[in-house]
Amino acid sequence: MRKNNYLFIILSVWMFAACSENDFPVPQSSSIVPSFTFTSSNEGFAPDTITFTNMTEELETAGTVSYTWNFDDGQFSTDINPTHVFKAPGTYTVTMIAISADQMKAYKADVLVKDPTALVVSLYYIDAGSKFISDTDGNAFATKGLGYGVEYDADNGVVYYSDIEGGKVWKTNLSGGEHQEILSGLTSPRDLALDSQNQKLYVVDRGSNSVMELNLADLSSKVLYNTAGGLGEKPEAIDYHNGFLYITCVEIDFESVWKAKVDGSAIENIIDYGAGGYGYGLAVDKINNKLYFDNTDNDEILMSNLDGSGIAVFANTGGRVYGLVVDNSNGKVYWSDEGDRALKMANLDGSGLTDVAVELTSPAGVFFVE
């Protein structure tokens, strides 16, 4: 037994001495760690010029590093920070290969280029003629009466709409479940505007020439503006942004767009008939601080700054536009065109005009769900 113990010790010492650290492969640290980011110049819509920013980490041991880009559309580049135009919609797997003296590594990322003519949200409208609210796929539910105004609370999945026949405002959901009466006693309610943060709903009552404020927390209401308080006659559309209400009026000498504080303290006519004609629908671009409003007098939608300056033609129309809404996430404006009996969309500058739905009855207010 003693001899065996000596033999084990001798073998162990020999194995330890024979196996130095040079006898085992030691992993080498990577001299390059490839990565990149990219930005769109057209809100992600085709044709889109994408700028790629190379974020590759290069250690001193890497030496000279070269790059090859494959844009997945048959085009390549050897620039460090290339710019590439994707002409057609689709998902492109862009590959960047980084090559150093001793390594070659790849980094991939998907670039989504959207179809500018495709509707990427669920667009809803209230049809005054057929008395229903529907999406563009035909999923519809009946309203309690003829209405022009509709508003959507995305945080709570709630739909509000006006009822001219009953002089009321109703609350429901996207499936048209239970309809709850939340405001009554109106003469001819038209458009609605929601301040979701403060839980206030603003209602234009054309029949009484007034703007109502409805507290959604307790359903208390009050007249915020009327003609005695400075509002023009026959108000139609309304939208809310950053403590202000924007309102259209259609009576002669009271056109076209009004701006008012939500506390009821001040109201002014910022666009008159000479500058903006007269019209119905209105929407605020709350990111770019722009107004879009209907000018039925010239069959067009106009756009301006929030103070009424810088008026320009946005799009031509076939008749009255009751519904307008801005989708900043996708760089689109959606609207109803009663004359063409259609729903339409365009880019924020008016380019890329596309019919979304046609042969409708009497499309009015619109909203979208992402």
Q: What is the CATH number of the domain that holds 348?
A: 2.120.10.30
Query: 211 and 95, same structural domain?
Result: no
pLDDT along the chain (370 residues), means of 10: 38 38 49 95 93 92 90 98 97 97 94 91 96 96 97 97 98 96 98 97 98 98 97 98 98 96 97 97 98 98 98 98 97 97 97 95 97
Question: What pLDDT sits at residue 60?
Answer: 74
Q: What is the 3-state secondary structure (H, E, C) of 254-305?
A: CCEEEEEECCCCCEEEEEEHHHHCCCCCEEEECCCCEEEEEEHHHCEEEEEE
Query: 355 and 249, same structural domain?
Result: yes
Q: Is residue 183 part of a domain?
A: yes
Query: 166 and 93, same structural domain?
Result: no
104 contact partners, CB below 8 Å, separation of at least 6: 97, 98
Q: Is residue 7 part of a domain?
A: no
Question: What pLDDT sits at residue 30?
Answer: 67
Provide the CATH number for the domain around residue 85.
Answer: 2.60.40.10
Where is the domain boundary, 113, 146, 180? 113
Domain that holds residue 65: 32-113
Q: Is residue 26 part of a domain?
A: no
Query: 249 and 322, same structural domain?
Result: yes
Query: 191 and 46, same structural domain?
Result: no
Question: What pLDDT sits at residue 25?
Answer: 45
Query: 51 and 140, same structural domain?
Result: no
d(CA 341, CA 250): 21
Q: Is residue 2 part of a domain?
A: no
Query: 130 and 108, same structural domain?
Result: no
112 contact partners, CB below 8 Å, separation of at least 6: 44, 91
Domain total of the chain: 2
Query: 164 and 298, same structural domain?
Result: yes
Q: Is residue 181 part of a domain?
A: yes
Question: What pLDDT sits at residue 27?
Answer: 46
Query: 242 and 176, same structural domain?
Result: yes
Query: 78 and 136, same structural domain?
Result: no
Looking from the CA of 143 toward its CB, the CA atoms found within 13 Å total 29
Query: 57 and 198, same structural domain?
Result: no
d(CA 278, CA 259): 15
pTM above 0.85, yes or no: no
Query: 352 and 295, same structural domain?
Result: yes
Q: Is residue 10 part of a domain?
A: no
Where is the domain boundary, 78, 95, 113? 113
